[in-house]
Structure 1
Amino acid sequence: MEPVKLPFYVKFPCILLSVICLTYIFYIAKDIFTQVLMAFLFAVLLVPIFTFLNTKIKFPRYLAAITCVLLFAAFIIGILAFISYQVTDMANDFETIKKNANAFIIEVHKFIKGNFNVSIGEQKKYINTVTKDSVKNGTGTIGSAILSISDILLDSTIIPIYTFLFLLYKDHFILFLAKLIDKENHLVLKDILSQIKVSINKYIVGLILEMIIVSVLTSLGLWIIGIKYFILLGLITGILNLIPYIGILIAGIITVLASLTGSSETSIILGILIVNIIVQLIDNNILVPLIINSKVEINAFVSILGIIIGGTLAGISGMFLAIPLLAILKIIFDRIESLEPWGYLMGNDMPSKFIWRIRKIK
């Protein structure tokens, strides 16, 4: 039986309706989907280690999968332990931070009074009003914080389990996909799966490399201007930089607060801002195009749009997952003839010249 060929004006609304339905399903079940997709990315990253343990060292599949998950968990726990140790050390300077923060706030009050003619009393009155409004919503804020902590604890438990299961049943899932399509398309499926593995591996390794470089550059800059916990703050900046747009802002605020352990001078805070700006310029103009964009081959417009949509649907997790999911979609679109134009739209090919060729009808 030959497939039914629909005209474009029928096909496009069907595609659009399908996208809307899938997006809505993802939105209402985002907590489940984000956990599964995170585990899938980690599993793809760990596949080379799993294959080495299973085929070269002859580990049983269960043991190889457990070993991979434990190694990955040990790496994450090691980073968190270092950060926790440094944060505990920083907590000893709380009184100094409080004293310098008060001195800095007084300087800000004086600056606003001198440049905007707003008295210190009016400024404090406005701050008290905002504080009272925040206290009224305190119950909701505490409830949200408790809910967020419970979500983190759940994710830290369930994502390693999903990752283990993805590794364990890797071949089972591939055989399932093979059974879904005709045998003559198995070569295309094999090509898609291999390209997805390569693309995701390169992307995640690129993210890790970018994180290391940003951490080193930030630590070096903070050391030069005399910040006490420069290694910790550089590492936090590198990690938060993985979160598009808002990560670097959060890192900047944390760095400014930590700088108050040593001094409340405005020059130090200005130095921190300069360091962050220089590192971001290097990251956005050199590291991202060289390390990240070259791995996924997604143009900037689609990347930004995908990150915004991902953030709207699933928050920070959605923003993090947006780029690898777009890369997977592009790989699939490029290898299916009817979807190839959409793959081209997502790509970063820049034709030097395009000329419409119109045949005259006599």
Structure 2
Amino acid sequence: MTVTSQTLTKFIVGAAATAAVLFVVWYFSSIVAYILVSAVLAVIGCRFVGMLVRLRIGGRAVPRWLAALVTLLLFWAVFAAICSLFVPLVINKLYQLSTLDFRAVVASVEEPIVRAQNYLDTIFDIPGSEFSMPEAISSTLREVVNVDSVNTLFSSALGITFSSLIAFFSISFITFFFMKDDGLFYSMVTAVFPARYAQSVTRALDSVTVLLSRYFMGIFTESVLLLTAVSLVMIAFGMAAGDAFFIGLIMGVMNVVPYAGPLIGGSLSVCLGVVTPIPGFTAGHTMLVIACSLLVLKGLDDFVIQPSLYSNRVRAHPLEIFIVILIAGTLGGIVGMLLAIPSYTVLRVFAKEFFSQYRLVRQLTEKI
């Protein structure tokens, strides 16, 4: 391929335009996130809107605005039902944490801690040390989790709640108009591109819609199954249903973050085993039961099922997905890992439409 001054100019202009668009997206990332979430909800809801529009009530068709409003109310009802199940569990755990007797918690696991201290004293040859590891851990826990820290946590929760309310009403408003005015989101995106690219952009959006819908439905199904499996296993070991369901909730929610999410969720779940041990079990035995159960349930899922699920849903090789997640995690941490696969899917689809002349792009997008 011969590189001419005209080709080089087009490349530079295209790169500059892409950089400008990426900067705008980053600067207004929260608004862009609202629009993208609304677009996903609109894709899910438009099928129901179409069903309602085709209904005949008293010989008259249901207006599209009414169908969109009913669908939005249905989304609200589902969200409210989920909150009514999960929010009381979270509040109850926060209350338990604020009233926890840390000395009693440390005493329940004191034997293995003392054994570990004696082993360290032997290894490092520390004569007659007055240092007490249980007392140090208890003091640290009291400093970390006290009235002030709990108040700070509640203040942060209030701030998050306020931001969530803004996001909730913004997403609801945008979703309503996306469902009411069919094709509005497509028009918004295609308006950014020159008219001659409108057909290519539309094809790309169609592919992105299908792939991301498959991906999100797969993740949702996997998280629900994991929540159910973890809860049932914990109940089978004798844990109270509320505590078991809370651990299942943590694992199900954190499961949306590839690889790192289950690790963080598992660590939190093991810590909860210390706070609320299984009746008849010591805190140490409860921690061991939780850790082993989660390793069994998540080991196969993380390293076998998830790569295959992600790759099948977005039509990419498992190794390709794994590398993308690693890169995104390095650049953006947990948020980067959360957005890695959807972002990579969008980039692949648009690269196929506009840069298919490059062999690397053809190899990466041949399955789309």
TM range (shorter): 0.7 to 0.9
What TM-score do you get using the length of structure 2 for normalisation?
Answer: 0.75
Report deviation, 1:70: 1.9
- Is 1:273 the counterpart of 2:291 in the alignment? yes
CA distance in 1, matches of 2:142, 2:26: 33
Q: Which amino acid aligns with 1:74?
A: A
SS of equivalent residue, structure 1 residue 291: helix
1:209, distance to aligned residue in structure 2 (A):
1.1
- The residue number in structure 1 matching 2:328 is 306
Aligned pair partner of 1:116 in 113, 117, 120:
120
Change (3 A) 1:130 1:251: closer
Matched, 1:81 2:91: no
Cα distance change of structure 1 residues 308 and 230 upon mapping to structure 2, 3 Å threshold = same
Of 205-214 and 318-327, the range deviating more from structure 2: 318-327
1:63 aligns with 2:77: no
Aligned with 2:179 (options 164, 167, 170): 167
- Structure 2 distance, partners of 1:253, 1:270, is 12
Q: 1:109 to 1:79 in 2, by over 3 A?
A: same
Q: Which aligned pairs between 1:174-189 and structure 2 lie closer than 5 A?
A: 174-175=186-187, 180-182=193-195, 187-189=199-201
Match for 2:114: what amino acid? K
> Does residue 101 in structure 1 map to residue 105 in structure 2?
yes
Aligned residue pairs total 339
Aligned partner of 1:326: which letter?
A: Y
Residue type of the alignment partner of 1:271? V
Change (3 A) 1:110 1:218: same
Alpha carbons 1:97, 1:258 under 8 Å: kept: no
User: What does residue 246 of structure 2 align with?
Assistant: 232
Instruction: Spell out, residue by residue over 1:91-127, the C-alpha distance to the aligned partner (whole angstroms, 9 max, x if none).
Output: 7977788676233453453133122228573544587
Cα distance between partner residues in 1 of 2:83 and 2:164:
14
Aligned residues of 2:352 and 2:365 also touching (Cα < 8 A): no
> 190, 207, 221: which is aligned to 1:195?
207
With CA pairs under 8 Å and 6+ residues apart, which has the higher RCO, 1 or 2? 1
Work out the CA distance in 1 between the residues paired with 2:209 and 2:217: 12
CA deviation map 1:10-40 (0-9, x unaligned): 6666665555444443333222222222222
Unaligned runs of 5+ in 2: none
C-alpha change, 1:62 and 1:134, in structure 2 (3 Å) is: same
Alpha carbons of structure 1 residues 126 and 78: separation in structure 2 relative to 1, 3 Å: closer
In 1, the alpha carbon distance for the partners of 2:228 and 2:268 equals 17
- Structure 1 Cα separation of the partners of residues 115 and 354 of structure 2: 61
Structure 2 SS opposite 1:121 = coil
Which residue does 1:34 correspond to in 2? 33
Structure 1 residues 100, 35: closer, same or farther in 2, change over 3 A? farther
> Does the 8 Å CA contact 2:106/2:137 hold for their aligned counterparts?
no
Give the stretch that moved more between structures: 123-132 or 286-295.
123-132
Q: Which amino acid aligns with 1:62?
A: W
User: Structure 1 counterpart of 2:290, which letter?
Assistant: I
Q: Aligned-residue CA RMSD in angstroms?
A: 3.9
In structure 2, the CA distance between the partners of 1:217 and 1:22, relative to structure 1 (3 Å rule), is same
Task: Please state how far the C-alpha of 1:294 moved relative to its aligned partner.
Answer: 0.7
